[in-house]
């Protein structure tokens, strides 16, 4: 038969004396037990401490809160005392369901230890911040809605619309002249969406030769064509899985690729070049064009069905000349940007120069304004 080890009252006392600090009070606040360690630490006389009111010994003690506020759970408080840090945890003591007092034990630590811990935590926090920024940079969507500047009604309205449409999964077509900020907006949409922690993949339809466009977008399987890498390769769609794919200058997409693109958007699955199985994909497509797609459709350069599929939500960015109120703010921003890059201290633009900038038509829009300020 197993016998339970019997602990004597001395054994319990031995334990209580080895806790950093241990105090017990009755419900009137009188000290019923206090260990030697806390007395030595606070330079109190052990024998006269017994029976005193707790606040007489420790004016900041919160032990009576447990009695006064009927706290049935343990509470921890932090103190700094004599250059040391202490954490005190107090418990209500019950006997036959009746509160008979409160016991509190302390953990004192060297400030050096606490400091080391806090520094360690700060370092971790900084590292985390660094990795967050780094992952944002690697994932590619570096602009947010706050990078889109403008006080005009048009821009405020546009930002409102972005906040609204970014939430869903529908395909978004961004239209507008060159330099109006379409790329900026594509980034902002991704960063506003629930996909923001996943990849933001970009591809410019004008930049890829027709012969490569299909494998760039949809990937290829091993041995798909001569020169294909052994293991095959993921296309942009697969890379953007669970994230967003931004196809810039979609108006330049070769017509041969357009039908496959349409199929992928409709079926939500793709087959790689030379592949035999369908791969399911979950991608939010954001497309941009600086030409009127409707016009291209009527000329036969763009598939009508694809145009309708893309144009679920259209975000039109008006040219700068139609929102001149934004010019001063943009100038201020680009001057500041140039000051930072070139180490200059330019504060203001001459009134006469500003007049000219406000009157100009800006065919190259915000990009042109940026270049002019830089010059
Ligand atoms: N509202 C804005 N606030 C701040 N910067 C802007 C704004 N609009 C555009 N820009 C800046 O202007 C430049 C051009 O913008 P962006 O590249 O997005 O234009 P785009 O519409 O994609 O042009 P393109 O059709 O020629 O590709 C970028 O440097 C961008 O950061
Ligand atoms: Mg662009």
Residues 169 and 217 in one domain: yes
Give a yes or no: residue 1 inside a domain: no
Nearest residue (by CA) to ligand 1, atom 29, is: 367
Residue nearest to atom 24 of ligand 1 (CA): 178
Q: What is the pLDDT of residue 30?
A: 97
Q: Which helix (H) or strand (E) holds 330?
A: helix 327-342
Query: Nearest CA to 310 among 359, 368, 277, 266?
Result: 266
Last residue of a domain, one of 318, 342, 363: 318
155 and 197, same structural domain? yes
Q: Pick the residue whose CA is nearest to atom 25 on ligand 1.
A: 178
Find residue 77's DSSP bridge partners.
88
Q: What dihedral do alpha carbons 217, 221, 224, 230 form, nearest 10°?
A: 120
Residue 120, in any domain of the structure: no
Residues 225, 288 within the same domain: yes
Q: Are residues 155 and 265 in the same domain?
A: yes
Are residues 69 and 15 located together in one domain of the fold?
yes
Q: Tell the residue nearest (CA) to atom 28 of ligand 1.
A: 367
For residues 357 and 314, membership in a common domain is answered with no
Decide whether any atom of ligand 1 lies within 6 Å of the 178 Cβ.
Answer: yes
Ligand 2 mean position, distance from CA 153 (Å): 23
Mutate to test the pocket of ligand 1, among 162, 184, 202, 251 (most ligand atoms within 8 A of CB): 184
Q: How many domains is the chain built from? A: 3
Nearest atom in ligand 1 to 180's CA: 21
Contact 84, 110 (CB under 8 A): yes
Q: Of 274, 303, 318, at which residue does a domain stop? A: 318
Domain match, 186 and 292 both: yes
Pairing of β 279-280 and β 84-95: unpaired
- pTM beyond 0.75, yes or no: no
Q: Is the CB of 373 under 6 A from ligand 1?
A: no
- The model's pLDDT over 105-163, given as tens digits with 9 standing for 90+, comes to 988 777 677 777 778 888 888 888 777 767 666 666 678 888 899 999 999 999 999 99
Domain boundary among 56, 89, 109: 109
pLDDT beyond 60 at 248: yes
Residue 94 and residue 13 share a domain? yes
Residue 71, C-beta contacts closer than 8 angstroms, at least 6 positions apart: 65, 92
Structural domain of 370: 324-374
In a domain, residue 277? The reply is yes
* pLDDT of 13 strictly over 80: yes
What lies within 8 Å, CB to CB, of 25 at 6+ separation is 31, 32, 54, 63, 64, 101, 102
Sheet bearing 75-81, strands edge to edge = 31-34, 21-26, 98-109, 84-95, 75-81
- For residue 130, being part of any structural domain is answered with no
| CATH (domain of 52) | 3.30.450.20
Q: Is the CB of 182 under 6 A from ligand 1?
A: yes
Task: Kindly report the average pLDDT of the chain as a whole number.
Answer: 89
Whether 60 and 97 map to the same domain: the answer is yes
Predicted pLDDT of residue 211: 80
Residue nearest to atom 13 of ligand 1 (CA): 367
- Is the CB of 183 within 6 Å of ligand 1? yes
Assign 1 a pLDDT band (cuts: 50, 70, 90): low
Structural domain contains residue 347: yes
Do 307 and 340 reside in the same domain of the chain?
no
Pocket lining: 290 vs ligand 1, CB cutoff 6 Å? yes
């Amino acid at each position: 038969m197993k016998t339970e080890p019997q602990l004597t009252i001395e054994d319990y006392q031995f334990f209580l004396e080895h806790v950093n600090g241990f105090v017990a009070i009755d419900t009137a606040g009188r000290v019923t037990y206090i260990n030697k360690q806390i007395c030595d630490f606070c330079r109190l006389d052990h024998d006269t401490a017994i029976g005193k009111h707790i606040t007489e010994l420790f004016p900041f003690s919160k032990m009576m809160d447990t009695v006064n506020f009927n706290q049935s759970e343990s509470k921890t408080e932090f103190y700094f005392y004599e250059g040391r840090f202490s954490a005190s945890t107090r418990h209500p003591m019950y006997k036959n369901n009746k509160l008979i007092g409160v016991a509190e034990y302390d953990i004192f630590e060297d400030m050096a230890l606490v400091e080391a811990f806090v520094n360690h935590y700060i370092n971790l926090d900084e590292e985390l911040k660094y990795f967050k920024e780094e992952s944002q940079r690697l994932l590619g969507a570096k602009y947010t809605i706050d990078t889109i500047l403008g006080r005009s009604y048009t821009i405020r309205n546009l930002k409102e619309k972005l906040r609204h449409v970014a939430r869903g999964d529908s395909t978004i077509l961004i239209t507008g002249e060159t330099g109006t900020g379409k790329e900026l907006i594509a980034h902002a949409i991704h960063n506003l969406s629930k996909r923001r922690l996943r990849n933001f993949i970009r591809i410019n339809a004008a930049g890829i030769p027709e012969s490569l466009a299909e494998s760039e977008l949809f990937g290829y399987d091993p041995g798909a064509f001569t020169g294909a890498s052994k293991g095959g390769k993921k296309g942009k769609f697969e890379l953007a899985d669970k994230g967003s794919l931004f196809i810039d200058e979609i108006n330049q997409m070769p017509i041969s690729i357009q039908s496959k693109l349409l199929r992928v958007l409709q079926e939500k699955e793709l087959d790689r070049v030379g592949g035999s199985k369908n791969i399911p994909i979950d991608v939010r497509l954001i497309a941009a064009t600086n030409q009127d797609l409707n016009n291209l459709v009527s000329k036969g350069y763009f598939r009508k069905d694809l145009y309708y599929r893309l144009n679920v939500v259209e975000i039109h960015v008006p040219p700068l000349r139609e929102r001149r109120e934004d010019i001063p703010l943009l100038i201020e921003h680009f001057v500041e940007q140039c000051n930072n890059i070139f180490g200059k201290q330019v504060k203001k633009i001459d009134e006469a120069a500003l007049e000219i900038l406000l009157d100009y038509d800006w065919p190259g829009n915000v990009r042109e304004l940026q270049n002019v300020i830089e010059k």
